[in-house]
């Protein structure tokens, strides 16, 4: 961590000493190396799930300050055909994470472009089967949303990244990417009658994603897509995708493993467009997802959760966890309105909302979670203040909704590049 603090301390002087953190390798700037550092800071109040324990003590409310995300990016167009991309950092540096805080390799891959229509690459990457599984953390409209399309996050992947190979390209308005990945091996023990990730030699995971841009084309230079363009682009696209892995899940039946293949399918629409000369703009992101993990699988997730594991008495577990992913169908809708430019204020303001509706086979009641927020852009996504209220259901052991809880989050996001 000392190296991180040194880098963050030197970053402003690096910016002041040159226009930006970019070095052109050719006079025309078509080959280059560039870098950036970003941090997302949270101050939070959590109305905790019943039975929540933090370091062995029972709590009903949690207040904390944390670093939700840290990113150190390095990328380069080394030759007209060879591109390398590296992203380092981590998530959820909070008051319970000291023992596991680290700066890790999130992405590190190289690709070779035969033509704009066909590029191949190898390494560790986040290319995936849906647009919302490949969102850029630095340009999201909501604070986390939607998080549920990161279906296998930190189970057999590393923050949605895995090792493997990919092929991608753009054919006029159609973008595509196909991947073959080696999922991380799972070491947790299988349980009798409970579906979970299989403890086996993992099979390869395959994904495909197709996107058609009706207006301006979105870049597919890296895997990561914007949540909102803050009035800078006119974008409308439709995406279809899917993921498959053989025997990814299992349960013990009479002590003998029964395996389940993992499958998901997604269909998504993304709209982001200015509305008038004042540059007011709307953003709409809607998606449908069918996911099959195996019989009645449901996974509770709490983003940046500081609670102890193993809370009893309720299905959710402790802290801010709720049933985010599982076997069944899910819908999401995100929307935002960017207020027009003002002569009296350079900042841009964007109220926004997000909602997830899921019908999981393993729950008796539908799962509905939503958030309401506002972004204040001082310099686009490079200097942004956000406030968000998140609301989630609490399920009892009969897997019925018993109550609802909320979280208030104040976020500051800064990028040095």
pLDDT of 13: 42
Query: In sequence order, which residues have a C-beta less than 8 Å from that of residue 8 and are 6 or more positions away?
Result: 37, 39
pLDDT of 73: 97
CA-CA-CA-CA dihedral for 306, 389, 131, 413, to nearest 10 = -70
Q: Which domains does the chain have, with CATH numbers?
A: 27-416 (2.40.160.10)
pLDDT of 5: 42
Sign (positive or negative) of CA dihedral 232, 233, 236, 241: negative
417 residues of the chain, pLDDT tens digit each? 444 444 444 444 443 333 579 999 999 999 999 999 999 999 999 999 999 999 999 999 999 999 999 999 999 999 999 999 999 999 999 999 999 999 999 999 999 999 999 999 999 999 999 999 999 999 999 998 789 999 999 999 999 999 999 999 999 999 999 999 999 999 999 999 999 999 999 999 999 999 999 999 999 999 999 999 999 999 999 999 999 999 999 999 999 999 999 999 999 999 999 999 999 999 999 999 999 999 999 999 999 999 999 888 999 999 999 999 999 999 999 999 999 999 889 999 999 999 999 999 999 999 999 999 999 999 999 999 999 999 999 999 999 999 999 999 999 999 998
Sign (positive or negative) of CA dihedral 251, 253, 257, 258: negative
CA-CA-CA-CA dihedral for 293, 299, 302, 306, to nearest 10 = -120
Q: What is the DSSP string of 281-305?
A: EEEEEEEEEEEE-STT-EEEE-TT-
pLDDT of 19: 54
CA-CA-CA-CA dihedral for 331, 137, 214, 244, to nearest 10 = -60
pLDDT of 330: 98
CB 274, CB 280: distance < 8 Å: yes
Buried-state track 169-189, b at ≥16 Cβ within 10 A, e below 16: bbeeeebbbbbebebbebeee
Residue recorded with tokens 């009641």: 365
Determine the Cα–Cα distance for residues 37 and 46; give it in Å rounded to an integer.
28
Determine the Cα–Cα distance for residues 21 and 55; give it in Å rounded to an integer.
42
């Amino acid at each position: 961590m000392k190296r991180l603090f040194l880098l963050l301390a030197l970053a402003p002087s690096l910016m002041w000493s040159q226009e930006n953190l970019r070095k052109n390798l050719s006079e025309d700037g078509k080959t280059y190396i560039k870098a950036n550092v970003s941090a997302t800071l949270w101050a939070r109040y959590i109305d905790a799930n019943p039975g929540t324990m933090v370091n062995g003590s029972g709590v009903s409310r949690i207040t904390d300050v944390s670093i939700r995300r840290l990113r150190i990016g390095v990328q380069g167009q080394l030759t007209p055909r060879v591109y390398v991309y590296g992203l380092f950092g981590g998530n959820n540096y909070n008051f319970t994470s000291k023992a596991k805080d680290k700066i890790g390799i999130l992405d590190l891959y190289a690709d070779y472009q035969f033509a704009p229509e066909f590029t191949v690459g190898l390494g560790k990457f986040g290319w995936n089967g849906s647009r919302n599984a490949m969102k850029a953390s630095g340009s999201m409209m909501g604070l986390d949303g939607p998080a549920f399309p990161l279906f296998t996050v930190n189970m057999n992947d590393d923050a949605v990244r895995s090792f493997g190979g990919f092929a991608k390209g753009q054919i006029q308005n159609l973008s595509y990417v196909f991947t073959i990945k080696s999922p991380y091996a799972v070491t947790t023990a299988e349980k009798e009658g409970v579906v979970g990730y299989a403890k086996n030699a993992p099979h390869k995971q395959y994904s495909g994603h197709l996107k058609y841009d009706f207006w301006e084309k979105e870049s597919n230079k890296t895997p990561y897509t914007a949540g909102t363009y803050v009035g800078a682009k006119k974008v409308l696209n439709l995406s279809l995708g899917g993921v498959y892995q053989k025997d990814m899940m299992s349960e013990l039946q009479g002590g003998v493993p029964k395996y389940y293949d993992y499958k998901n399918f997604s269909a998504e629409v993304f709209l982001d467009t200015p509305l008038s000369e004042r540059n007011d703009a709307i953003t709409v992101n809607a998606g449908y997802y069918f996911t099959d993990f195996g019989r009645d699988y449901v996974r509770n997730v709490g983003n940046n959760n500081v609670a102890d594991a193993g809370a009893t008495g309720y299905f959710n577990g402790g802290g801010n966890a709720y049933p985010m992913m599982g076997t069944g169908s899910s819908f999401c809708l995100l929307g935002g309105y960017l207020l027009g430019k003002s002569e009296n204020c350079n900042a841009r303001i964007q109220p926004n909302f997000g909602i997830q509706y899921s019908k999981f086979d393993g729950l008796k009641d539908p799962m509905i979670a939503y958030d309401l927020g506002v972004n204040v852009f001082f310099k686009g996504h490079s200097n942004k203040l956000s406030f968000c209220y998140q609301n989630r259901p609490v399920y009892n052991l009969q897997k019925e909704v018993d109550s609802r809880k909320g979280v208030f989050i104040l976020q500051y996001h800064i990028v040095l590049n």
